[in-house]
Amino acid sequence: MYIYTCIFIDFYSECVSYFLRDNFCLDFQLSTFYLTFWDIFGNVVCHRVIVYDEIEKDKQLNLLDDALATLRLLNSANNKTWVPRIRHHIFRFLGQFSIRPNTKLVAGDFEGKDAFQTCVDAMKDSNRNWDFDEKVWNNAFVVVKNSIQTKIMTT
């Protein structure tokens, strides 16, 4: 199962890089792609089909970069259906796996990524107003709490 997960992660990272490089807009098909990935990946890891800690650190860093890049992409999207759902899954992933005690990632891995500000910005709509969605904010709170406890992300 581990090898399939690594292939899945590598494939996804290549797709994200392609979409971001070519400045794709966040349309229905792309939204479905992002939502499906974060949903499947989160559920697979949550249900221990794989153990996130078994994934090599460089792949964890790629996932972190992909999560942050996706959040930045969503900052300009207006879709009230897809955007909160994708953000929910990304924050769930960040809070449960990337930013937590005993992670392979250290504070230095977050330098230059502007991760904390990206997370704060992701809690706003495309007009930069606070956009309250209970699931998103609950998961974002876990990210902030874990960041403070582990001192992994700085403001």
Percentage of the chain with pLDDT > 70? Answer: 63
Residue 155 lies in a domain: no
Q: In whole angstroms, give the CA distance from residue 94 to residue 88.
A: 10
Instruction: Locate the DSSP E strands across 6-152.
Output: none
Q: In whole angstroms, give the CA distance from residue 57 to residue 60.
A: 5
pLDDT in tens, 61-112: 888 888 888 888 888 777 788 788 888 888 988 887 666 666 778 888 888 8
Residue 11 lies in a domain: yes
Residue 126 lies in a domain: yes
In three-state secondary structure terms, 146 is helix
Residue 102 lies in a domain: yes
Q: Which residue has 């970069």 as its token pair?
A: 65
**Phi, psi of 61, deg, nearest 5:** -65, -40
The pLDDT-based confidence of 49 (bands split at 50, 70, 90) is very low
Above 80 in pLDDT, residue 33?
no
Domain that holds residue 42: 2-150
Among the listed residues 81, 63, 83, 64, the one whose alpha carbon sits nearest the alpha carbon of residue 73: 83
Q: Which two structure tokens, joined as six digits, stand for 32?
A: 């479905």
**Tally of structural domains, the chain:** 1
pLDDT in tens, 111-132: 888 888 999 999 998 888 998 9
Residue 71 lies in a domain: yes
